Structures are given as structure tokens and as C-alpha cells.
Amino acid sequence: MSRLVFLDFDGVLHPYGAFLDELGQFCWLAGLAEVLRPWPDVQIVVHSTWRYEYTEAELKGFLGELGPRFVGAAPRLPREIAIETVLEANKGRVNAHVVLDDDAREFTGGRLHLILCAPDAGISSKEVQEKLRTWLFWTAAAAPADRLGQRTPRGYGELVLYLDFDGVLHHEDVHYHPKRGAYMNRSGFTLFKHADLLDEILRPYPDLRIVLSTSWVRHYGCYGAAKRLPPGLRSRVIGATFHSRMNKSLFVQESRGVQVWADAVRRGPRDWLALDDDYLDWPTWCQGKYMRTDRELGISAPGAADEIEAHLKRLFERDSNRPRLLKP
């Protein structure tokens, strides 16, 4: 099984238009190569209009260090139909795909996973690279049954709170010892000091589920981490962003924001909110779904409880105007 990137050239690997002469053809190729480097299973199919003028050997040559990933060009059909034809011909051999293109008019919004590029930025855009990295991560991390739709993940179609522990429910300075377990040396601070406060804040929202995004899961497992919570919170826990079928070394390389976003893509909640003190490298499209907490005081910091309540109110107000998802 492999993953395919369907690749356009103009507006993706170099600018389409005025800046092409200044920057040159394939000026952003190295950026794509860097993003794909950790994922050797990912192969490339070219659907650019260049396939009408150049042979497959020439197209492979244009890709430079990405040439070994080239497995062919799409048929000479309209882009969407050409890509769907390749996917249909390789059914059972391709477990995920993504399309990099700068022209939304070529696509009807069907089953293709499209990452749209700006013609003057292409793959050099940080947001496009974040989206591609997220796709690479979650399609590698998700269990095959989830990817193929053979079972519905817990939390599908529900409202979910992604919950960190350190810097949220207690001070962020938590240490771990193989025999002693998790512990804290700071005077006046205890583990899960603010857990009851969160339980109280969530009480008016009985339908809200919790997915653990904390690193505690990697040490204790989902059940072992959840049992540290008070009963009211523990009963809401339906899973974690990390599970034993994942590649742990790849998981920890990703930022917390990408870990959460990847789980949201796989799990399919109808909406979500994340509480976390880790503010680095959250995908830009997660704005409004993430609340940064104080690393020392967590949710007990002045104004934090009110901010959480405001986020929850907006979450449920949005939900009241959204059609319900039907579970398969």
C-alpha cells in the first residue's frame, strides 16, 4: 500500500505568471522535497499540463531529487477525471492521496483531497506546507481500518475537548521516572490541582467528550492517564491523540497542534476545542479552536475560567445552527 501526491507544476513548484522569470522554473521544488523526506512511501503522479508536451522520462527529470518517487503521469483527460481514473485503476493499492494544484476551477469538490495553492506562492506557502505535513502525518498514523472506513472512530459527529494535563490542570513542570512515575517538586503545586475546576466548568455541557492530547498517554496509555482524573472528567474520555498502533518516533516529531488536528481529521468530531499550554506551530486554520493556558497556573489563572466558558458557549452556539451528522 502506498500514498500518492498528484502534482501540478505551474503555480505549485514555481510561480504562475509575472514572477516566473524572476524566480525561475521549479524554484520551490526543494521545499516539497524537504516536506516529503521523512515519508519514503509517498509516490508522485504528475497531472500538470506539462504531461501533454513532455515524456514521462522528461517529467521525472524535472523533479530532481523527487524523481525516484515519480510513478507516472495522469491520463490526458480533464484534471479531476484524470486523477479519479488513476485512483480507480489502483484501488486496493493506494490507501491515501492528496492533490496539489493552484486552479480550483478544475475541481468540483468531490472525493478528491485537494490542497489549493496560491499561484504566486505554491508549495512555498507555510500554510500549504502545514496542510501537507498534516495530511502526511495523519494518513501514516491512522489505523488502516479508520482510513478505509471499516469502523467509526469514537467521537465521530460529536463535540470534543482536546485536553492537555501539564500547564492546564497543574503546573507544567512535571517530571517522569520509570519507577516513581510522574511527580512535581515545586512547593505549593500538586498534580491535577485544577481538575475539579474543569469538571465544574464542563458540568453544564454533558454531551461534551474529551480526547486526551497530553504526553501522559505515551507513558500510561489512555486508560492509565484518564484514571488520574476525577470521575466527572474521566467519564467523558473517549480516546487520545496517540495510540499504540502509531509510530511513536514520528508522532513526537509533530507539534502539538498538528497532533490534535490530525486526530480531528481522523476522528471526525462535528466541532472541537483544545486546551493546551503549548502554543508553538499550531496550524493557522485552527484559530478559534485552541485556547492557550498559563504554564504555571493553568486554568486557574485570572480570567481563564471565563475564557473557557466563552469558548464553550461559542462552540455550542455554532453547533445549534449546524445540521446533525448521521453516523454510518
- Residues 66 and 123 both lie in one domain: yes
- Residues 21 and 135 both lie in one domain: yes
251 Cβ neighbours under 8 A, 6+ residues apart: 141, 242, 259
Of 82, 110, 141, which residue sits at a domain end?
A: 141
- Residues 13 and 132 both lie in one domain: yes
CB 75 within 8 A of CB 47: no
In a domain, 328, yes or no: no
In a domain, 104, yes or no: yes
Least confident of 82-91, 151-160, 176-185: 151-160
- Residues 278 and 241 both lie in one domain: yes
- Residues 277 and 205 both lie in one domain: yes
- pLDDT by residue (tens digit) across 287-327? 889 999 999 999 999 999 999 999 999 999 887 765 443 43
- Residues 92 and 216 both lie in one domain: no
Type of residue numbered 166: D
- Residues 187 and 132 both lie in one domain: no
In a domain, 148, yes or no: no
Measured distance between the N- and C-terminal CA atoms of the chain, rounded to whole angstroms: 25
Residue % of the chain over a pLDDT of 90: 60
In a domain, 327, yes or no: no
Average pLDDT value for residue range 4-13: 96
Number of structural domains (the chain) is 2
Q: Which domain holds residue 95?
A: 2-141
Least confident of 36-50, 136-150, 190-204, 223-237: 136-150
What's the pLDDT at 141? Answer: 52
Q: Using 50, 70 and 90 to split pLDDT, how confident is the model at 282?
A: confident
Question: 91: domain CATH number?
Answer: 3.40.50
- Has this prediction a pTM greater than 0.75? no
Residue % of the chain over a pLDDT of 70: 91
- Residues 300 and 230 both lie in one domain: yes
What's the pLDDT at 326? Answer: 40
- Residues 177 and 303 both lie in one domain: yes
Q: Using 50, 70 and 90 to split pLDDT, how confident is the model at 281?
A: confident
In a domain, 292, yes or no: yes
In a domain, 117, yes or no: yes
Of 90, 108, 141, which residue sits at a domain end?
A: 141
In a domain, 326, yes or no: no
What's the pLDDT at 241? Answer: 94
In a domain, 233, yes or no: yes
- Residues 183 and 79 both lie in one domain: no
- Residues 181 and 112 both lie in one domain: no
CB 32 within 8 A of CB 66: yes
Please state, in angstroms and rounded to a whole number, the distance separating the CA atoms of residues 302 and 290.
18
Mean pLDDT of the chain: 88
- pLDDT by residue (tens digit) across 19-66? 667 778 999 999 999 999 888 889 999 999 999 999 999 999 999 999
| Cell reading at 37 | 523526506
- Residues 114 and 263 both lie in one domain: no
